[in-house]
C-alpha cells in the first residue's frame, strides 16, 4: 500500500507555502518545525514601507502562517525533529521526536494567568512574540524554579484550562508519507567570524537582521546603548557572501540594505547614509527604479571596508579605499550595519545523512541536475526555499510552490503506475 | 422574520476580571432579538465548542455573537464552529472584550464591554449568508509559445493529467531554444520528441489567436491556422512567449563584423571554419539596462569559452556584475582566475569605429583613469525586451504589462506567475529576465495552480460575494473600468435595461467596485455599509 500524505520539514515561508499549496490540491500534510513557533526567519522581518510600499514582502508571511495553521489538511508538529527515515517514494516511514513544550498548544488560551503568578524573576513562563503562531505561552526550562529543583507548582495550579504539565517526556511517533519536502531554510551568517568588523565587541555595530528586529519591535531606529538617534550610518555589504568561504551571492542583502536605508532616510531625512558595496544587485522587477530614486540621497561607495575601530569618543572609524580620490580614507560613523548574508543551515549535514540526500560544495542541499532546483538525488524527496541556495521571499515562495508541484507530479505518477499494475493483475 | 441571536460570553478562563459578567449577561439579554446568552470560561476549547454547537441547535439560533478575545486570534475558529452547527459561517459577529476592553483599561470596563457587544448584535441582525456553489470548468489548457518554458509547461501539465494545446507562431517548436540549449548544456531535442509523442499534447504551429473571450474555466479562443479559423474552449491560459534582445548601440554604429551580439559570438565560437580568431574582445553590459542577469550570465559563459578556445585577451566593461543567480558568482571567479579583466565604470563607455577595429573609451573607477582599448571584436550591450506580439496578445486577453512591456504579475510578493485575471498565467522570459532554473520554478508553480483549478472539473466558490442591484445600477461602467480582475460585465435584464453583473469565479472580493459605485448599487456582502452604520448607531443609543 502506498501513501499520498506529504511531510514538509521546516515551517519558514517556503515550507508553509509548499504545505498550503499541497493542502489546496487535496493532499494531507504534516508540517514539521523544530522550534516552538512556526515562521522561521521570514517571520521576524520588518515592513520597510515609506510613504509607499517598498515591496520587501515581509507582510505576506504572517497571513500565510495563519492560513496554514487553520488549514484542516495541515497537521502542525512543533518542537519536532526527524530521527530516522526508511522506505521510498510513495511509501516513506519517518520517525519523529517531539520535545515537550510543557504547555499544551490545544489547551492554552493565552489568558496570561501563569505569567502573573510565576514567582521567578525574570518570569519563567511568558507569552510568545506578538506574531507567534501557534500563540501558546512558553515555559522556559532554564528560568523555571521547578527545573532548578524547587517545589514550585503555582502556574500549573492556577492554569484555568490545565494546560501546564511538567512531567512530560519527548514523544516518539512514526509517520507514513508518500513524499518529503525539505524546507529547512538557512542560517544567518555569524558576523563575529569577521573579527575585524567588530560585531559583538562594539555595541554600535549591528547586523541587518538586528536592524530588522529593531524596526519590528520599536518601529524606529535608536543607538543600542545611548538611545540617541543615529546621524551617520554606514551599511557594509557582502558580509558572509562572495568571499573565500562563500562562493555565492546571497541575493537578498543589496535589496534589504537599500530598503532599510530608504526607510531610515524617510524617517529622518537628515541622517547621512553610506552603503559600501562590491556590485549592486539591482536586477529584478522595479528594483532599478528604487535605486535610481535613492542614489542621490544615499552615498554609494564601491569597495567594502575590512576594518572597523572604535575611537575613544565611541564613534566607529571605518577605513576604506576611496576610489574616486585614489587613496585610503578614514571616516567615522555612529552606527555601522553589516549586511550579513545567507549561510547554509548548520543542521543540514545531519539531516542530509538521515535522509540520504547530497550536500553541494557550498553547503546547501544539492539538486539532481543543474536545472531542476527542486529535485534531490532521492526520488520523492524535494527541496524548497533557501535550504537549496540563497533566495529572497518572492523567490522562496515561487520555489515552495514549485516543490509542491513536483511532489504532486511524482505522487500522481506513483498512483497511475499502481492503477496500471492493478489492471495488469 | 425576526432573527434569533445567540450571545456567547467568554471570561477567558476567568482571566478577565475587570468585567462584571453577571451584570453584562443580564443587560445584553434585554437587547431585542437576543434569544439566549451563555457564559463560558473556555469557549475556544473543545468543551466550549461542543456547548456552543448544542446551544445553537437547541435554541434554533440563526445569528451568533461571540464576546471574547480578538477576532484576529479566534474568528476563523468560531466560523468553523458555526459551520459544524449547520449555520453559514458568515452569520457571525465578534465583540472583542479582552484586548480592546479588559486589557486596554485599568479598572472596571463593564459599561464598555456591554456597548461593544451591543454593536456586534446590531451588526449581527443584518448579516446575510454567503452561499457556495460549484462551477463547471473546462479541463483543457492553452499554452502560448514553443520555447523552453512552453515545452516544459506542456510536459508537466500532461503529467498531471491535463490536456494541453501548444500554440506556436513559428513553423517549428523551439527554434530559438536550440541555441540556448547548446549554451546551457541541455538537450532540447529529447524534450521536443517527448512533446511530440505525448497524446495529451496537441501542437499547433504557424498558428495565431485572433480573438479571445470568456473567463476562468471557460476561455473561448479563436485560432487561425493555415487560412482556417477554429474556436475552442480552454479552462486556463499559460503565456510562455519569451523575450527578445536588441543591441544597445550608438546611432552611428551598427552590428557588423566587429560588433556582435552574444548569440552571434556563440555561433562564431562553434564555427570550425572561422578564419581569424579575434585577439582582443570587449564585452559590455549593465549600462543601459539594470536588468542584466541574463547578459551577465551570457558574458561570463562566452568569455570563458573564448578564453579557452581562442585564448583571446578579454575585457569586460560593466557597472555592476549581477551575480544574484545560482552559480553566477562561481563563474565570475572562474573568469577572473582565467585572466578575464573586469573594468567597472559608472558611465557608459564611448564606442567608436577605428580602422576596422572598435575603440572603447571608458573611465574605470578602480584605476581612476581614462582607459582606451582597441579591440578586434565588441560584444555589445543587449537590451532585454518582450518578444514581438506581447502587446497585441496582452490587449487581446486584457491583461496588464509593466513599465518595460513585460507581463505584470498580480502580486509581486506572492505569486509572480499569475496575472490579475484569474486563470491566465505567465512563465519565463515574458515576465522578466530569468535564468533557466528560475524559469523551471515558474513552470512548476503554474502547473500546480492550473491543476488545483481544473483537475476536478469544477471549482467550489462563494457566490454573490459582491452583487450589483439591477434596480439601482445605471450602467455607468465605472465598476467595469476599475475592476482589477475583469470580473464585471454588462448584461441585459428583463425590460431591456443593461446592468453590471459580477462573475463569481473571477471575482476576488476586493471590494473596489463597491467602494467606487456612484449609484451605491454594488454591495460588498461580507461587510455592507448598513452593518457599519448599525454599529455606530449602537454607540449612539447609550
Contact B290 A389 (CB under 8 A): no
Contact A370 B185 (CB under 8 A): yes
Q: Which stretch of A344-353, B178-187, B342-351 has the lowest confidence by average pLDDT?
A: B178-187
Confidence of residue A364 (pLDDT cuts 50, 70, 90): very high
Residue A195, classed as helix, strand or coil, is helix
Contact B451 A405 (CB under 8 A): yes
Rounded to an integer, the average pLDDT of B212-238 is 93
Partner residue opposite B328 with nearest CB, options A70, A249, A291? A249
Confidence of residue A424 (pLDDT cuts 50, 70, 90): very low
Q: Which helix (H) or strand (E) is B426 found in, with range?
A: strand B424-426
Which residues of A are less than 8 Å from B323 in CB distance?
Answer: 242, 248-249, 279, 281
Q: What confidence tens digit (pLDDT) does each residue in B78-98 have?
A: 998 999 999 999 999 999 999
Classify residue A272: in a domain, yes or no. yes
What DSSP state is assigned to residue A101? -
The per-residue pLDDT for A355 is 96
Confidence of residue A292 (pLDDT cuts 50, 70, 90): confident
Partner residue opposite A70 with nearest CB, options B76, B330, B452? B76
Which domain-ending residue is among A284, A313, A342? Answer: A342
The per-residue pLDDT for B174 is 77
Is residue A335 located within the same domain as residue A213?
yes
**A147, A160 in Cβ contact below 8 A?**
no
Q: What confidence tens digit (pLDDT) does each residue in B355-387 have?
A: 889 999 998 887 778 889 999 999 999 998 999
Confidence of residue A415 (pLDDT cuts 50, 70, 90): low
Which residues of A are less than 8 Å from B12 in CB distance?
Answer: 109, 111
Contact A324 B416 (CB under 8 A): no
Cis peptide preceding A162, ω within 30 of 0? no
Residue A341, classed as helix, strand or coil, is coil
In whole angstroms, how large is the CA radius of gyration of chain A? Answer: 24
Q: How far is CA A272 from CA A230, A293, A328, A333, B361, in A?
A: 9, 16, 21, 9, 34
The per-residue pLDDT for A105 is 83
Classify residue A396: in a domain, yes or no. yes
For cell 449612539, the residue is: B540
Which residues of A are less than 8 Å from B69 in CB distance?
Answer: 110
Residue B532, classed as helix, strand or coil, is helix
**B297, B180 in Cβ contact below 8 A?**
no
Rounded to an integer, the average pLDDT of A402-417 is 84
Beta strands in A133-287 (DSSP E): 138-139, 171-177, 179-182, 186-188, 205-207, 232-239, 272-277
Closest C-alpha to B362, from B471, B283, B251, B426? B283
Total domains in chain A come to 2
Determine the distance in angstroms separating the CA of A157 from the nearest CA of chain B, rounded to an integer. Answer: 13
The per-residue pLDDT for A12 is 94
In whole angstroms, how large is the CA radius of gyration of chain B? Answer: 32
Determine the distance in angstroms separating the CA of B50 from the nearest CA of chain A, rounded to an integer. Answer: 15
Residue A8, classed as helix, strand or coil, is strand
Is residue A404 located within the same domain as residue A299?
no
Q: Can you say how many angstroms the Cα of residue A117 is from the centroid of all Cα atoms in its chain?
A: 33
Q: Is the pLDDT of residue A86 over 80?
A: yes
Q: How far is CA A204 from CA A192, A257, A270, A336, A355, in A?
A: 14, 17, 19, 6, 42
Q: What confidence tens digit (pLDDT) does each residue in A172-201 have?
A: 999 999 999 999 999 999 999 999 999 999
Determine the distance in angstroms separating the CA of B90 from the nearest CA of chain A, rounded to an integer. Answer: 17
Q: Give residues with Cβ within 8 angstroms of A169, minimum separation 6.
A: A100
Which domain-ending residue is among A342, A361, A390? Answer: A342
Mean pLDDT of chain B: 90
CA distance A393 to B383: 27
Confidence of residue A369 (pLDDT cuts 50, 70, 90): confident
For cell 552559480, the residue is: B327
Angle at B50 between CA B47 and CA B54, to 5 degrees: 140
Confidence of residue B493 (pLDDT cuts 50, 70, 90): confident
Angle at A220 between CA A215 and CA A221, to 5 degrees: 90
Which residues of A are less than 8 Å from B325 in CB distance?
Answer: 249, 251
Is residue A259 located within the same domain as residue A388?
no
Contact A25 B455 (CB under 8 A): yes
Which residues of B are less than 8 Å from A395 in CB distance?
Answer: 438, 441
Contact A281 B415 (CB under 8 A): no
CA distance A232 to A214: 17
Determine the distance in angstroms separating the CA of A52 from the nearest CA of chain B, rounded to an integer. Answer: 14
Contact B291 A279 (CB under 8 A): no
| A206, β-bridge pairs | A337
The per-residue pLDDT for B5 is 94
For cell 499520498, the residue is: A4
Neighbours of A384 (CB within 10 A): 37
Classify residue A395: in a domain, yes or no. yes
Is residue A406 located within the same domain as residue A419?
yes
Is residue A84 located within the same domain as residue A180?
yes
Contact A283 B324 (CB under 8 A): yes
Contact A394 B320 (CB under 8 A): no
Closest C-alpha to A61, from A40, A32, A36? A40
Is residue A178 located within the same domain as residue A312?
no
Contact B445 A401 (CB under 8 A): yes
Q: What is the DSSP string of B266-294?
A: HHHHH-TT--S--SEEEEEESSS-S--HH
Rounded to an integer, the average pLDDT of B264-286 is 89
Is residue A210 located within the same domain as residue A312?
yes
CA distance B141 to B233: 9
Is residue A223 located within the same domain as residue A311?
yes
Q: In what order do the strands lie in the sheet with A91-98?
A: A80-88, A91-98, A171-177
Residue A190, classed as helix, strand or coil, is coil
**B475, B488 in Cβ contact below 8 A?**
no
Tell me the CATH number at A310: 3.50.50.60
Rounded to an integer, the average pLDDT of A105-125 is 88
Partner residue opposite A397 with nearest CB, options B414, B432, B444? B414
Q: Phi/psi at B158 (nearest 5 deg)?
A: -65, -40
Q: What confidence tens digit (pLDDT) does each residue in A19-54 have?
A: 999 999 889 999 999 988 888 898 888 888 888 888
Partner residue opposite A111 with nearest CB, options B13, B185, B290? B13
Residue A370, classed as helix, strand or coil, is coil
Q: Is the pLDDT of residue B542 over 60?
A: no
Partner residue opposite B440 with nearest CB, options A372, A401, A404? A372
Classify residue A152: in a domain, yes or no. no
Determine the distance in angstroms separating the CA of B84 from the nearest CA of chain A, rounded to an integer. Answer: 13
The per-residue pLDDT for A425 is 42
Determine the distance in angstroms separating the CA of B402 from the nearest CA of chain A, rounded to an integer. Answer: 9
Pick the residue from chain B with its C-alpha nearest to A395: B438
Contact B415 A397 (CB under 8 A): yes
What DSSP state is assigned to residue B169? S
Q: Is the pLDDT of residue A414 over 70?
A: no
Residue B497, classed as helix, strand or coil, is coil
Q: What confidence tens digit (pLDDT) does each residue in B239-274 have?
A: 999 999 889 888 888 878 889 998 889 888 888 888
Q: Is the pLDDT of residue A314 over 90?
A: no
Contact A398 B417 (CB under 8 A): yes
Classify residue A156: in a domain, yes or no. no
Tell which of B187, B441, B449 to mutate to test the A interface (max A CBs under 10 Å): B441
Q: Is the pLDDT of residue B26 over 70?
A: yes
Sort strands B357-363 and A342-344 into parallel, antiparallel or unpaired. unpaired
Domain that holds residue A360: 6-99+170-185+345-424
Confidence of residue A293 (pLDDT cuts 50, 70, 90): confident
Percent of chain B clearing pLDDT 70 (strictly above)? 97
Q: How far is CA B31 from CA B37, B46, B49, B99, in A?
A: 11, 29, 24, 24
The per-residue pLDDT for A225 is 86
Classify residue A212: in a domain, yes or no. yes
Q: What confidence tens digit (pLDDT) does each residue in B439-449 have?
A: 999 999 999 99
Which residues of B are less than 8 Å from A284 in CB distance?
Answer: 291, 324, 432
Classify residue A31: in a domain, yes or no. yes
Residue A141, classed as helix, strand or coil, is coil
Classify residue A159: in a domain, yes or no. no
For cell 564585452, the residue is: B283
* CA contacts within 13 A on the Cβ side of A277: 22
CA distance A206 to A308: 12
The per-residue pLDDT for B315 is 96
Contact A401 B444 (CB under 8 A): yes
The per-residue pLDDT for A418 is 62
Contact A394 B413 (CB under 8 A): yes
Is residue A56 located within the same domain as residue A26?
yes
Contact B413 A60 (CB under 8 A): yes
The per-residue pLDDT for B202 is 95
Neighbours of B126 (CB within 10 A): 16
The per-residue pLDDT for A191 is 95
Query: Cα dihedral angle (B430, B436, B442, B443), rounded to 10 degrees?
Result: 100
Partner residue opposite A55 with nearest CB, options B160, B413, B415? B413
For cell 519536532, the residue is: A80
Residue B386, classed as helix, strand or coil, is strand
Is residue A393 located within the same domain as residue A310?
no
CA distance B15 to B473: 51
Q: Which helix (H) or strand (E) is B336 found in, with range?
A: helix B328-337
Partner residue opposite B13 with nearest CB, options A160, A248, A302? A160
The per-residue pLDDT for B417 is 87
The residue with greater pLDDT, A107 or A275, is: A275
The per-residue pLDDT for A360 is 93
What DSSP state is assigned to residue A298? S
What DSSP state is assigned to residue A340? E
Mean pLDDT of chain A: 89
- Catalogue all structural domains in chain B, each as residue range(s) with its CATH number: 5-130 (3.40.50), 140-242+387-458 (3.50.50.60), 252-383 (3.50.50.60), 463-525 (3.30.70.20)
Q: Is the pLDDT of residue A107 over 90?
A: no
Contact A248 B438 (CB under 8 A): no
Is residue A418 located within the same domain as residue A392?
yes
| B178 class by beta-carbon count within 10 Å (0-12 exposed, 13-18 middle, 19+ buried) | middle
Tell which of B444, B452, B461 to mutate to test the A interface (max A CBs under 10 Å): B444
Is residue A285 located within the same domain as residue A361?
no
Which domain-ending residue is among A342, A376, A410? Answer: A342
Amino acid at each position: 500500500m502506498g501513501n499520498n500524505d506529504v511531510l514538509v520539514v521546516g515551517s519558514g515561508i517556503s515550507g508553509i507555502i509548499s504545505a498550503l499549496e499541497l493542502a489546496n490540491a487535496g493532499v494531507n500534510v504534516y508540517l514539521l518545525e523544530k522550534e516552538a513557533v512556526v515562521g522561521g526567519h521570514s517571520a521576524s522581518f520588518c515592513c520597510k514601507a515609506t510613504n509607499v510600499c517598498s515591496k520587501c514582502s515581509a507582510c505576506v508571511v504572517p497571513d500565510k502562517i495563519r492560513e496554514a495553521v487553520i488549514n484542516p489538511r495541515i497537521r502542525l508538529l512543533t518542537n519536532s525533529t526527524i530521527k530516522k527515515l526508511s522506505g521510498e517514494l510513495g511509501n516513506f516511514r519517518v520517525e519523529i521526536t517531539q520535545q515537550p513544550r510543557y504547555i499544551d498548544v490545544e489547551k492554552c488560551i493565552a489568558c496570561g494567568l501563569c505569567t502573573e503568578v510565576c514567582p521567578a524573576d525574570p518570569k519563567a513562563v511568558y507569552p510568545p512574540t506578538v506574531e507567534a503562531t501557534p500563540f501558546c505561552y512558553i515555559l522556559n526550562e532554564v528560568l523555571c524554579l521547578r527545573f532548578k529543583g524547587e517545589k514550585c507548582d503555582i502556574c500549573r495550579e492556577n492554569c484555568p484550562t490545565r494546560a501546564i504539565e511538567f512531567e512530560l517526556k519527548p514523544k516518539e511517533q512514526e509517520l507514513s508519507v508518500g513524499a518529503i519536502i525539505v524546507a529547512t531554510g538557512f542560517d544567518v551568517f555569524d558576523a563575529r567570524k569577521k573579527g575585524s568588523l567588530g560585531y559583538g565587541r562594539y555595541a554600535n555595530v549591528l547586523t541587518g537582521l538586528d536592524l530588522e528586529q529593531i524596526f519590528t519591535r520599536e518601529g524606529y531606529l535608536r543607538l543600542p546603548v545611548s538611545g540617541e538617534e543615529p546621524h551617520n550610518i554606514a551599511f557594509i555589504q557582502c558580509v558572509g557572501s562572495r568571499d573565500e568561504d562563500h562562493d555565492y551571492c546571497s541575493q537578498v542583502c543589496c535589496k534589504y540594505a537599500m530598503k532599510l536605508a530608504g526607510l531610515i532616510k524617510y524617517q529622518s531625512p537628515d541622517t547621512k547614509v553610506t552603503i559600501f558595496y562590491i556590485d549592486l544587485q539591482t536586477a529584478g522587477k522595479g528594483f532599478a527604479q528604487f535605486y535610481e530614486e535613492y542614489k542621490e540621497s544615499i552615498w554609494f561607495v564601491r569597495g567594502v571596508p575590512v576594518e572597523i575601530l572604535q575611537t575613544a569618543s565611541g564613534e566607529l572609524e571605518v577605513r576604506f579605499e576611496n576610489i574616486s580620490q585614489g587613496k585610503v580614507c578614514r571616516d567615522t560613523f555612529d552606527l555601522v550595519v553589516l549586511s550579513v548574508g545567507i549561510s547554509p543551515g548548520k543542521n543540514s549535514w545531519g539531516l542530509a545523512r538521515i535522509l540520504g540526500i547530497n550536500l553541494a560544495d557550498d553547503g546547501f542541499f544539492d539538486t539532481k541536475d543543474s536545472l531542476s532546483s527542486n529535485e534531490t538525488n532521492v526520488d520523492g524527496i524535494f527541496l524548497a526555499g533557501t535550504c537549496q541556495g540563497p533566495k529572497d521571499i518572492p523567490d522562496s515562495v515561487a520555489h515552495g510552490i514549485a516543490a509542491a508541484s513536483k511532489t504532486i507530479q511524482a505522487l500522481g505518477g506513483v498512483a497511475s503506475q499502481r492503477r496500471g499494475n492493478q489492471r495488469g493483475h | 422574520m425576526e432573527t434569533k441571536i445567540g450571545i456567547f460570553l467568554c471570561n477567558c478562563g476567568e482571566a478577565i476580571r475587570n468585567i462584571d459578567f453577571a451584570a453584562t449577561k443580564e443587560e445584553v439579554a434585554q437587547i431585542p432579538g437576543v434569544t439566549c446568552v451563555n457564559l463560558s470560561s473556555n469557549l475556544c476549547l473543545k468543551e466550549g465548542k461542543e456547548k456552543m454547537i448544542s446551544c445553537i441547535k437547541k435554541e434554533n439560533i440563526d445569528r451568533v455573537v461571540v464576546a471574547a478575545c480578538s477576532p484576529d486570534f479566534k474568528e476563523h475558529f468560531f466560523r468553523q464552529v458555526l459551520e459544524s452547527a449547520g449555520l453559514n459561517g458568515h452569520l457571525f459577529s465578534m465583540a472583542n472584550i479582552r484586548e480592546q476592553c479588559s486589557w486596554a483599561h485599568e479598572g472596571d470596563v463593564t459599561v464598555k464591554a456591554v456597548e461593544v457587544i451591543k454593536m456586534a448584535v446590531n451588526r449581527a441582525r443584518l448579516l446575510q449568508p454567503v452561499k457556495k456553489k460549484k462551477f463547471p470548468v473546462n479541463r483543457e489548457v492553452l499554452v502560448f509559445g514553443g520555447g523552453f518554458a512552453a515545452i516544459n509547461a506542456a510536459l508537466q501539465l500532461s503529467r498531471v493529467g491535463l490536456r494541453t494545446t501548444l500554440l506556436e507562431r513559428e513553423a517549428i517548436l523551439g527554434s530559438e531554444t536550440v541555441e540556448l540549449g547548446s549554451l546551457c548544456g541541455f538537450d532540447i531535442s529529447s524534450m521536443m520528441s517527448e512533446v511530440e509523442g505525448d497524446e495529451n499534447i496537441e501542437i499547433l504551429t504557424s498558428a495565431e489567436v485572433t480573438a479571445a473571450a470568456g473567463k476562468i474555466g471557460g476561455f473561448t479562443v479563436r485560432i487561425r491556422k493555415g487560412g482556417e479559423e477554429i474556436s475552442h474552449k480552454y479552462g486556463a491560459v499559460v503565456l510562455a512567449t519569451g523575450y527578445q534582445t536588441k543591441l544597445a548601440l550608438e546611432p552611428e554604429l551598427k552590428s557588423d563584423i566587429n560588433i556582435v551580439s552574444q548569440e552571434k559570438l556563440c555561433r562564431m565560437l562553434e564555427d570550425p571554419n572561422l578564419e581569424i580568431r579575434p585577439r582582443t574582445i570587449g564585452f559590455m553590459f549593465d549600462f543601459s539596462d539594470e536588468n542584466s542577469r541574463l547578459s551577465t550570465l551570457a558574458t561570463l559563459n562566452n568569455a570563458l569559452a573564448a578564453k579557452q578556445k581562442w585564448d583571446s585577451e578579454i575585457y569586460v566593461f560593466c557597472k555592476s556584475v549581477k551575480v544574484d543567480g545560482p552559480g553566477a558568482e562561481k563563474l565570475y571567479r572562474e573568469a577572473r582566475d582565467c585572466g578575464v579583466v573586469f573594468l567597472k565604470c559608472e558611465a557608459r563607455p564611448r564606442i567608436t569605429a577605428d580602422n576596422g577595429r572598435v575603440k572603447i573609451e571608458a573611465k574605470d573607477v578602480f584605476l581612476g583613469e581614462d582607459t582606451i582599448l582597441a579591440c578586434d571584436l565588441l560584444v555589445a550591450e543587449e537590451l532585454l525586451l518582450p518578444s514581438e506580439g506581447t502587446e497585441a496578445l496582452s490587449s487581446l486577453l486584457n491583461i496588464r504589462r509593466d513599465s518595460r512591456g513585460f507581463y505584470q504579475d498580480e502580486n509581486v510578493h506572492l505569486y509572480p506567475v499569475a496575472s490579475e485575471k484569474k486563470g491566465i498565467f505567465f512563465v519565463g522570459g515574458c515576465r522578466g529576465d530569468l535564468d533557466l532554473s528560475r524559469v523551471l520554478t515558474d513552470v512548476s508553480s503554474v502547473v500546480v495552480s492550473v491543476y488545483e483549478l481544473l483537475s476536478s472539473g469544477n471549482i467550489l466558490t462563494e457566490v454573490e460575494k459582491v452583487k450589483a442591484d439591477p434596480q439601482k445600477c445605471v450602467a455607468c461602467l465605472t465598476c467595469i473600468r476599475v475592476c482589477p480582475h475583469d470580473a464585471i460585465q454588462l448584461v441585459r435584464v428583463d425590460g431591456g435595461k443593461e446592468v453590471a453583473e459580477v462573475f463569481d469565479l473571477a471575482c476576488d472580493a476586493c471590494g473596489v467596485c463597491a467602494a467606487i459605485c456612484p449609484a451605491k448599487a454594488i454591495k460588498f456582502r461580507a461587510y455592507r455599509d448598513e452593518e457599519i452604520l448599525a454599529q455606530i448607531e449602537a454607540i449612539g443609543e447609550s
